[in-house]
Structure 1
C-alpha cells in the first residue's frame, strides 16, 4: 500500500462476523459466526436505517429489535483458504511396492518459495507426493517417521506454460525418476528435464490416508484444511500402483488412455462432471470420487486445447483443467456463536447483529425480506452487487497509485486495514488471487468488511454499496412510505411473480450485477405494466450467475470488454455455474438502455460532482408531475453528502443505438458539467483518442429520463450512483427529494 495514503481513525481490533443466510425471511433462523480477541462481547439485533455519520446529514440511525440481546464469550476463529480436491477413501497398502504419479500442470507461481502439492497422500509423519518445489522444479517427496526424502529436477518450470510431469518410485530397489516436459507449439529447448535418483530403503511406507490433488496433504485441524496448496491449472492427474515403464509413460504423454495400463488406481477426469459440481469423476473404475473444496475455477481449457473451440459444450475433453489458488475460499467454516429465529410479522429491511466489546464494535448485516407483499412499493436491494464488491481490496494493489484518478484525498477505512491483516477472508471479483489471476467467485460465508453501515470507501471517503443504499431506506422512512425490502437473490429464485405483487420497484444506487433469471423477471414485470424507478448508475451491466446449489456464491467471467479489473483467458468466457457466456449484457443483446433508457457511460470521482440541468422535454406537460415544486431554472442536485452532487461516481446516458426506447424523454443532464476526472467507458471507445473526459466529450454525462410502456407501465431513471446521497440535503427539502417523491407517488396511484 502506497505511503501517501492516509488512514481514518485507529486500527480496528478483531471483532468481526457474518450471518448465514445473508437473505432470510420471517420464521427462518439466522446464525451468526464471530471471531474476536475480546474475552466477552454483547450482541443485539438492530434494523439499519442510515449509516453515514457525516455531520451535514441526519447521522447514524438504527432501530433496536426488542428483547433480543446476548452476552457472549469471545473466541478467535481460524480460516483455512486454498482450493484442492479431497479423495476420502485413499488407497491402503496398494502402493507399498511403488507407484507412479502423472499429470499436466500450468503453474502460475512456480517459484513462490514453498512446496506446492500436485498429487499427494500424506498423514502427519508418513506419505508421498508429487510437488512443485520452492525453486520451481518438479519433486517427488517421500516421508517416513517425519523424515523427508526427495528427488527433484532442480530445473525451474516456466510460469503459465503447460508441462507433462510424472514421477515413478520403486520401493523395492529405492529407484526413483522425475520427469518434466513442456508442451505447446514452441517449447523452450532447455525446458525439459528427466532425473533419476536413489532413495534409501525404508524411506517410504504406504498408508491409509486421503489423497489430495492441488495440495500436499491436510493440516492438523478440526477442518478439512489444506497445506502446500498449488497455484495454477491441473489437468488429468493419475495414480498407478507400480513404477511404469518408459513405453507406458510415453503412452500417457501422447494422451493415451490410462485404462490400458495395468495398476491404475485413480484417473481423475475433470471434464466428465459438471463445471459447477463438487464431485470429481474417477475414470479408473475404482470409484475414487473426489470432492472439490473451496471453489477453484472450473470449466477451463486444458493442455490439449486446440484454440479452435470456445465452448465447453462443443469439446468438453478440451476443457479438462481446474485452476486452483492458495487463497480460494468457499466458506470460512466458522462455528455459530448465537442464532436468532426471525419473528413472524417483523418488518422487512436491512438488519444487523450489533456486536459490542469493551473497545470495539461491529455491525453484522443481513436482509429480511417478505415472501408475500406487505406493501405496494418494493426496494430491490442489490445483493449481487454487494457480493461482487465484497472485501474489495484494490487499494492494497502493490505499485498502483490511485491518487491519479481523483483529487479527493485517499483515506483508508479501518475496516480495509483489518482486511489487509486478515487476507484469508478473501477478496472481491475486482481483485486478483495471489498468483495474479482474476477472482471470479465471491462468497457470502465470510465477514464482508465493506458491507458495514459505517464503512467509507477509499476512493472518495464516502459510503458505497450497502451503506449508500441506506440513504434510500432513511428517506422512505422520513417520507412515511410503506414499503417492502426484497433482494436480488429473491428475484433470482422467484422471478416475475415476486415483482408483480408491487405497483413500483425501486432500485438501489448500484444494481450492477444481474443473472439472466433476474433480467427475465424484471422484463416480464415491465411487459405487464410494471413501474420501475432506477435510482442509480452502472446498472444491469455484468452477466452474473449463482451456484445452483449454493446461492451464497456468485460468479462472473469478465470477458474482454467493459470496465473491468481483469480479463478472461481466451476460451474461458462460459460461467461454470450456469454455462452462459460471460461479459457485459450489452454484448449479449440485453443492453441496460433497452430496459431503463440509459446505460453506463462514464465514471469518475472528484471533490465536487455536479447536478443536472433541465432540458426542453422536462417542460412537456406530460411530465409536469415529475417537476412539480421544482423551478424552471433550478440546477437539480448540485448538493449532497457524497462529493457534493447528485450526478457523480458512475453515470448512465441515453443512446438510441443501444436500445433506448424511441419514446424516451430526456429530462435533464449533467453533460458539460464534469471535470477531467470523469472518463468515458472502455466499451464506447473504438480507437484510442485523447478526448474522452468530462471536459471534452459529450458522452461523459448522466441523463435523467422517463418513458411509458404498455399496460400503464413506466420507467424513471436518474443515471447516477450519487443520486440517493442528495435526498436528505436541507432536512429532505430539496429538488432531488421532491422529484423522487413526485415520481414515487405517481407510480403508486
Structure 2
C-alpha cells in the first residue's frame, strides 16, 4: 500500500486530541475529514457514501514511509552490573515451537556492531556468541519439549553449554560441551533483550531474530557457575542462588501486566513488548490446575512469537483536536496520494454526560478488532486456497506482506492469536473493504462497512442518534447508555466483555429498549486488556466453531484471569437475556422470514404494521448478493439455554440448503437427536420489567436489506415500526 495508517484511538469526544500515524511512500499526500454514512461500492445499492466535513485537518502533508516490525520480546534497560569480560552465566527453561526456523535469539545483551553476547537457537542448535566468537552444541532441540538450558563463560577457562530435557522420552536429547572462544571485548552498555536481539540502529530500537516458543525463569549471573550451582538451578533452587544475579525474571508474577519482574536483589525489571502470550504453562506445570489464577507459580512462562504485534510504534504524522461542535457519528481521515487512498476510521462520541439524541447506535469495536487483518485464506492459513481470487484487494496483500494477523489466525508456529490491538493498521476495518468469504468468495461488506448501512438508514429516515462504542460501554457501564430510550446494536456484535453484558442487562432491567440488529451476538468471552489500554484478549475454547485451540491449561485470559470460550459455558448464554443465540451459518443462499402465530399477539402486532398477514419478509436480494434477509449467521431460541418462556417468536427463516448451511458445532454435539437440528433464524420480541424490551432480528445480513428498493421494503418497514414504537413506548401501545 502506497499509503496506510491508523489512529491512536477508535473513539474520541469533542475537544480531545487524536493522533494519526501514517506511512506514505510518496513525497506528499493529502488528507481530509469525512463522515462515513454507507460502506461498500456495490452498484446494486447506495454505494459508498462519504461526506466531506470542512476541517482544519484538511490539507497536504509530507509523506514518510514507516515499517511494520513484528516480534515479541522482553527489554531490560542497561543491566550495568553484567560485564562479559569478567565472566557470566545464562540459564533458562525453553519450549521451542519452530527450532529449525533459522536464527532465533533466546537472550542477548549485544549491540548491532557485534559487542556483547547472544544465546540463540541456530537451525535448532544451542549457540552462544560472545563478541565475534561462537560456540555451539551438536544435538538439535526437539519442538514442543521443555529443556533446561545454561551457558557459562569465563575469559580464562572458556565456555560451557548445557542442554537437558526436563522430562518425557529423553534418550539422545541431552547435550553438553566445553570449549574456548576468544575473550570478550570491552564492557557493553546496552539493554538485555529476552526472546530477540538488537539487529539495527545505533539506539537499539530495531529488534529482530525473534524466538518462537516459551521461555521460563531466565536468569543472568555476573560469574561463571560451577556444576553444583547448575544442578541446583535445574532442581528448582533458583531463589537460593540469585543473591548475586544481574537479573532473575519471574514471569509468573504480574501475569496481568506487561512487566517482567526481577526477583534478584538487582531489581532489574523489564517491559514485555508486543504482547507475547502470558499465562502460559511453565516447565513445572503439573496439570493439576487448568488456569494460572489457581496456581500462578506453575505459569512462569511467556510464549513468544516472531509475528506478535501490539503497537506498530509509528511516529504521529498528524495530531488533531476534535472540534467541540462536531456531531457524534462515524468519521475517517481520508488520505490520498498518487492514485492510492486509505480511510482511517474513528467514532466521535457525544460529550461526556451529554446526550444529543434519544437513540444510541453501539458500534461493535471489539468485533472489529477480532476480525481485523484476518488472513485465513492467505498462504499458510487454515483456508489457504479456498478462495480462488484471494488476494483480490491491496489490503489483503498488505496483511500478507506485513505478517499482521487477526484473532482468527494462528502464529507461524501454529499457536492461536489471542490479543488484538488498535495501535496498528486495521486495513480490513474500512468502509470500502470486502470480506473475502462473503458471497461465495466474491467478497462482501462485514463489520464496519456493514454497520454503516444502519447509519445510512437512520440518516435516510431522519432519525437523530448518538454513536458509542464497546469501549465506552465496557469502561463506563450502564451509566453511558441509561439516558437513551433505544440502543441499537451493529450487525455482528460477536465479541463482548462481561462488563458489557452487565451494562446491557442493567439497561434492560431499568426499562431500556434494545434492538439487536444482527446475528451471532454476545458469543465469545472477550476482555479489554487494561494493562496495554489498547487491545482485547480472547482464548478460543470448545466446544464451539473455532479456528484454533489453546494449549492445555492455557484457556484463561492473562488480562483478567477469566476462563475464555463461549459465554454460554460461563452460564451467560445470549438466549437467557436476548431470547436468541447463535444457531447456524453458511454460504449462499439465504432465506426470507415467514410470520409465526406470535406475530399476531396484540402486544407485538405493531411490528408488522403495513404488512400483509402472510407476507414473506426479506424475500429479495441483499447487498451481500445473498438472497433473503436471513443469511450468513443466524440465531434461534432455545429454552434449554435459557430463552425465557414469554419470548415471542415473531417470524422464522428456515429451509436453508444443507449443502451450504449447518447448525453450529456446539448445537450439533449437544443435540439429543441431530436430525431435528435444522438450521433456522428466529425474529423475536422479549419483554423486560419497567417497559423494557429486546427486539432481535437474528441475522447478520438483515441490515444489508434495509436499502433495497429505495429503502421501501418490508425489512426497512419492520425496523422502522419497532424503532418508532420503542421511542414512544414499550410493547403495548402508549394508550393501552
Normalising to structure 2: TM-score of the pair?
0.94
What's the offset of the Cα at 1:459?
Answer: 0.7
Task: Report what 1:9 is aligned to.
Answer: none
Alignment deviations for residues 160-182 of structure 1 (CA, whole Å, 9 cap, x no partner): 11110001111123x21111111
Answer whether contact 2:363 2:468 (CA < 8 A) is retained.
yes
Task: Report what 1:49 is aligned to.
Answer: 37
Matches within 5 A, 1:449-468: 449-460=427-438, 461-468=443-450
Does 1:86 find its partner at 2:75? yes
Alignment deviations for residues 459-516 of structure 1 (CA, whole Å, 9 cap, x no partner): 1211010000011000000010111111100101110111111011100000011111
Does 1:555 find its partner at 2:537? yes
Answer whether contact 1:545 1:578 (CA < 8 A) is retained.
yes
Task: Report what 2:516 is aligned to.
Answer: 534
Secondary structure in 1 aligned to 2:164?
strand
Answer whether contact 1:294 1:329 (CA < 8 A) is retained.
yes
Answer whether contact 1:93 1:208 (CA < 8 A) is retained.
no
What's the offset of the Cα at 1:311?
Answer: 2.9
Q: Matches of 1:720 and 1:672 in 2, distance apart?
A: 15
What's the offset of the Cα at 1:590?
Answer: 0.4
Secondary structure in 2 aligned to 1:540?
coil
Answer whether contact 1:300 1:320 (CA < 8 A) is retained.
yes
Q: Matches of 2:244 and 2:597 in 1, distance apart?
A: 81
Does 1:151 find its partner at 2:139? no
Secondary structure in 1 aligned to 2:271?
strand
Task: Report what 1:73 is aligned to.
Answer: 62
Secondary structure in 2 aligned to 1:476?
helix
What's the offset of the Cα at 1:595?
Answer: 1.6
**How much is the aligned-residue C-alpha RMSD, in angstroms?**
1.9
Answer whether contact 1:48 1:470 (CA < 8 A) is retained.
yes
Task: Report what 1:96 is aligned to.
Answer: 85
Task: Report what 2:267 is aligned to.
Answer: 287
Equivalent of residue 724 in structure 1, options 698, 703, 711? 703
Task: Report what 2:195 is aligned to.
Answer: 214
- Going from structure 1 to structure 2, the CA distance change for 1:488 and 1:459 (only over 3 Å counts) comes to same
Task: Report what 2:413 is aligned to.
Answer: 435
Answer whether contact 2:359 2:488 (CA < 8 A) is retained.
yes
- Going from structure 1 to structure 2, the CA distance change for 1:223 and 1:119 (only over 3 Å counts) comes to closer
Q: Matches of 2:460 and 2:481 in 1, distance apart?
A: 24
- Going from structure 1 to structure 2, the CA distance change for 1:230 and 1:529 (only over 3 Å counts) comes to same
What's the offset of the Cα at 1:560?
Answer: 2.8
Equivalent of residue 646 in structure 1, options 629, 635, 648? 629
Equivalent of residue 653 in structure 2, options 646, 670, 678? 670
Task: Report what 1:8 is aligned to.
Answer: none
Secondary structure in 1 aligned to 2:70?
coil
Answer whether contact 1:413 1:457 (CA < 8 A) is retained.
no
Task: Report what 2:686 is aligned to.
Answer: 707
- Equivalences, count: 719
What's the offset of the Cα at 1:205?
Answer: 4.0
What's the offset of the Cα at 1:263?
Answer: 3.9
Equivalent of residue 314 in structure 1, options 294, 317, 326? 294
Equivalent of residue 169 in structure 1, options 153, 156, 172? 153
Secondary structure in 2 aligned to 1:450?
coil
Alignment deviations for residues 24-44 of structure 1 (CA, whole Å, 9 cap, x no partner): 111111111111122211100
Task: Report what 1:227 is aligned to.
Answer: 208
Does 1:597 find its partner at 2:585? no
Q: Matches of 1:349 and 1:585 in 2, distance apart?
A: 30
- Going from structure 1 to structure 2, the CA distance change for 1:400 and 1:316 (only over 3 Å counts) comes to closer
Secondary structure in 1 aligned to 2:410?
coil
Equivalent of residue 744 in structure 1, options 707, 719, 723? 723
Secondary structure in 1 aligned to 2:369?
helix
Answer whether contact 2:89 2:153 (CA < 8 A) is retained.
yes
Matches within 5 A, 1:185-584: 186-200=168-182, 202-220=183-201, 224-260=205-241, 263-272=244-253, 274-370=254-350, 371=352, 372-398=354-380, 400-401=382-383, 412-423=392-403, 426-460=404-438, 461-584=443-566
Task: Report what 1:107 is aligned to.
Answer: 96
Equivalent of residue 598 in structure 2, options 613, 617, 636? 617
Secondary structure in 2 aligned to 1:729?
coil
What's the offset of the Cα at 1:89?
Answer: 2.6
Answer whether contact 2:197 2:208 (CA < 8 A) is retained.
yes
Does 1:734 find its partner at 2:723? no
What's the offset of the Cα at 1:550?
Answer: 3.2
Q: Matches of 2:408 and 2:53 in 1, distance apart?
A: 35
What's the offset of the Cα at 1:601?
Answer: 0.7
What's the offset of the Cα at 1:218?
Answer: 4.9
Structure 1 segments of 4+ aligned residues over 4 angstroms from their partners: 399-404, 408-411
Q: Matches of 1:662 and 1:595 in 2, distance apart?
A: 11
What's the offset of the Cα at 1:206?
Answer: 3.3
Alignment deviations for residues 387-439 of structure 1 (CA, whole Å, 9 cap, x no partner): 111111111043755676x9x9867333212222222xx21110111211110
Does 1:137 find its partner at 2:138? no
Alignment deviations for residues 543-562 of structure 1 (CA, whole Å, 9 cap, x no partner): 11112143321111112322
Secondary structure in 1 aligned to 2:103?
coil
Secondary structure in 2 aligned to 1:748?
helix
Answer whether contact 1:178 1:196 (CA < 8 A) is retained.
yes
Answer whether contact 1:674 1:701 (CA < 8 A) is retained.
no
Alignment deviations for residues 337-363 of structure 1 (CA, whole Å, 9 cap, x no partner): 112211113111110001121211111
Answer whether contact 1:671 1:698 (CA < 8 A) is retained.
no
Secondary structure in 1 aligned to 2:292?
coil
Secondary structure in 1 aligned to 2:367?
helix
Q: Matches of 1:398 and 1:547 in 2, distance apart?
A: 28
Task: Report what 1:658 is aligned to.
Answer: 641
Answer whether contact 2:68 2:402 (CA < 8 A) is retained.
no
Answer whether contact 1:101 1:119 (CA < 8 A) is retained.
no
What's the offset of the Cα at 1:216?
Answer: 2.6
Answer whether contact 1:92 1:208 (CA < 8 A) is retained.
no
Does 1:633 find its partner at 2:614? yes
Answer whether contact 1:415 1:449 (CA < 8 A) is retained.
yes
Answer whether contact 2:105 2:118 (CA < 8 A) is retained.
no
Stretches of structure 1 that go unaligned for 5 or more consecutive residues are 1-12
Q: Matches of 1:101 and 1:217 in 2, distance apart?
A: 18
Q: Matches of 1:442 and 1:518 in 2, distance apart?
A: 18
Secondary structure in 1 aligned to 2:434?
coil
Q: Matches of 2:658 and 2:9 in 1, distance apart?
A: 42
Task: Report what 2:733 is aligned to.
Answer: none
Secondary structure in 2 aligned to 1:565?
coil
Task: Report what 1:160 is aligned to.
Answer: 144
Alignment deviations for residues 1-37 of structure 1 (CA, whole Å, 9 cap, x no partner): xxxxxxxxxxxx4211111211111111111111112
Moved more, 107-116 or 411-420: 411-420
Task: Report what 1:63 is aligned to.
Answer: 51
Does 1:124 find its partner at 2:140? no
What's the offset of the Cα at 1:47?
Answer: 0.5
Moved more, 386-395 or 612-621: 612-621
